[in-house]
Amino acid sequence: MSIFDIFDKISRDTAPKAPVEYIIAGLGNPGLKYENSRHNAGFMVVDNLAKREHFDIKKLQFKSLTGEVTLNGKGCLVMKPSTFMNNSGEAIVQAMNFYKVPIEKVIVICDDINMEPGRLRIRKKGSDGGHNGLKSIIYLTGSDEFPRIKVGVGQKPSKDYDLAAWVLGSFPPEALPALHTAADNACEALALMVDGKTDAAMNLVNGK
């Protein structure tokens, strides 16, 4: 890191942050064991966002690792819940209550086994679709009225293949380029969504 990089980082860290208006929660499981698993697609997207926007997701609060970023003038709390997938709602509810963020301004990013790796789909609201992370959020907030970005991770190789083994397994190397592209596209979509342009974000990524 050069002296200019150090000064740039100090400037970013000390610059006043916009008040938190949105929560962006990437879902996954904490720990090295799960780092590159299919279930951690949400973590991968917010890590990519942090890299693009030059901020860290390392502050421990709300049962999560968190960071703050301003997107299109909107202050966003970015979360990686440490609760494990099935209890993701515990972390998100704590952050919502602290910042008084309504459920409509909570954007959740999660994996979806019904799409090929690298495909994205944005929904403004909806059921959990069998996803335990979404199920926890809906149960603990009492609402399914939150937008979500679903990241395709591919279907099980056979119907009798154990679902937990599949989502906790790692991506094959050949799937990684598509996932990196998807993470970039998801970040572009997030910038639109916090700017109130969810329809434009949907047009950007849905079906591609």
Supply the DSSP string of 26-74, one letter for each residue: E----SGGGTTBGGGHHHHHHHHHHHHHT----EEETTEEEEEEEETTE
Q: Give yes or no: 54 in active site.
A: no
CB 24 within 8 A of CB 46: yes
Which of these is catalytic: 39, 54, 131, 180?
39
Radius of gyration of the chain measured on its C-alpha atoms: 16
Task: Using CB atoms within 10 Å of the CB of residue 118, give its burial: 0 to 12 exposed, 13 to 18 middle, 19+ buried.
Answer: buried
- At which residue do the structure tokens 């790692």 appear? 170
Distance (Å, whole) CA 171 – CA 185:
19
**Would you name the residues annotated as active-site residues?**
39
